[in-house]
Structure 1
Amino acid sequence: MNGAAADPGWGGGRTGDRAECVLCPNPSPMTLDGTNTWLLAEPGSDEVVVVDPGPLDETHLAHVLDRVTSTGRRVALTLLTHGHADHAESADRFAELTGAPVRAVGRGHDDLRAGESLRVGGLEVLVVPTPGHTSDSVSFVLPADNTLLTGDTILGRGTTVVAWPDGSLEAYLESLARIEALTRAGAVTTLSPGHGPFVADAAATVTFYLRHRAERLEQVRAAVAGGAQTACAVVEQVYADVPRSVWPAAELSVQAQLEYLREHR
């Protein structure tokens, strides 16, 4: 669960030749340090791709635009990793401010295709569907930097929520397997998440996520076998190690796990 205390050392910044993070000032137990808004550009290009402009926070949007325009560049495209408000609420307003199109999956934006290669100002971005956290979750590979922008599919610290009923554990496990395949092929070596710090070892993090999900699933199975009859009762047993402030989110993940167990008896 993404409920660890905020890391005071993560304040955004550059993570490679092509990616810069502007941290939104919306920290919480669920958003960690805040939402990471990513600015992507090929070195020397004046065209920028913005990933997840964040909540409707005019100060943050102005800060993002200043980071772009102060270096003589412009926003050419906005991408959304998914439709949750802390990532996408400001998308329409940001489009008004920049004149740039917004592309995403679902919620009226069904225009990103699996495996699609986006090219902006010499920058290549590959579209990788990663549903599970939500049904519309998508990640983006920067092939030149071997990094994957993961949104909420994998975080920089802790683990994420399978936001049932829109989210699906089966889809989430398939997405983690898809990312694992990218790490094994060497196409992805680092992760640029939607919350928390840059991840230098993508392969180890994906392995941890897969192991963690398997362990949690077995814990849920045992809790049910031991008599837990509701998702809330399961949370009290299985998620006793996470802060109570994130128990409502944990209950969503438990609902997703119970659904998975019903379908895979």
Structure 2
Amino acid sequence: LARFGWWIESRLSPLVHRRRQWLTVSQPSAAELATLGVPSSHIAVIRNGVDPVPAGISAGTPAERAPGPRLVVLSRLVPHKHVEDALSLLAELLPDSPDLRLDVIGGGWWEPQLREHADTLGVSGATTFHGHVSERRKHEILRAATVHLMPSRKEGWGLAVMEAGQHRLPTIGYTHAAGLRDSIDTGRTGILVDGLGEMIDATRALLADRPQLERMGAAARDKAAGFSWEAAGTAAEWLLAEAAAGRVHSGVIDPPADPGRER
């Protein structure tokens, strides 16, 4: 059944809807749609917004960090998110950084397997599985963290990257996760790597370089500040009106200063 659904999405749908307006959330996702046969001239990009930090929670200044280094993963706990890599990274760094801790925010049916993996690696005592938490609690945990890890194998955009950025957290993620190539400005707001070994090396180096960590965190915060659901909604409303009028667009769509103007 899954294979049939994939065939509909990747083969039938692009053929049937090739003349219509397409909308996705990142430029890498648009490039992937084009490889499926969707005309590039019909693919528009509107990046996701991000909710504001709840009132009363400041955006993670250095003085508010936890005393020791803390890694954080914000993710659904399903296989393709590959949180196992964060646990393996922790096991690699712990011998030289015994005060290092990992917070895993999120729930999912793969959690028992992840807990078992943590036990096998001997890192259960340094790992906290928070499960599903409230918005406020999520931001409290992010505020106390040092580095955000995103070992996911596949991402359309990476909303968690923006939520981490609100708290001055740079993200280390995989280049092959597609959307992360858009949500992370590698070398500026975070680091893109090509495998677990590189993720371990990048995390070790960043934790040891406090000035670089703070520079990346500040840049991540500035980037996150440029995204909102209001802006995304305005851009989507404009694009829908254009599609209803029979006009198609491509590229990144920003909210028009004058909703009635042509593009």
Greater relative contact order, per chain length (Cα 8 Å cut-off, separation 6+)? 2
Band the TM-score falls in, shorter-chain normalisation? 0.3 to 0.5
- Bigger CA radius of gyration: 2
More helix as a share of residues? 2
More strand as a share of residues? 1
TM-score by length of 2: 0.35
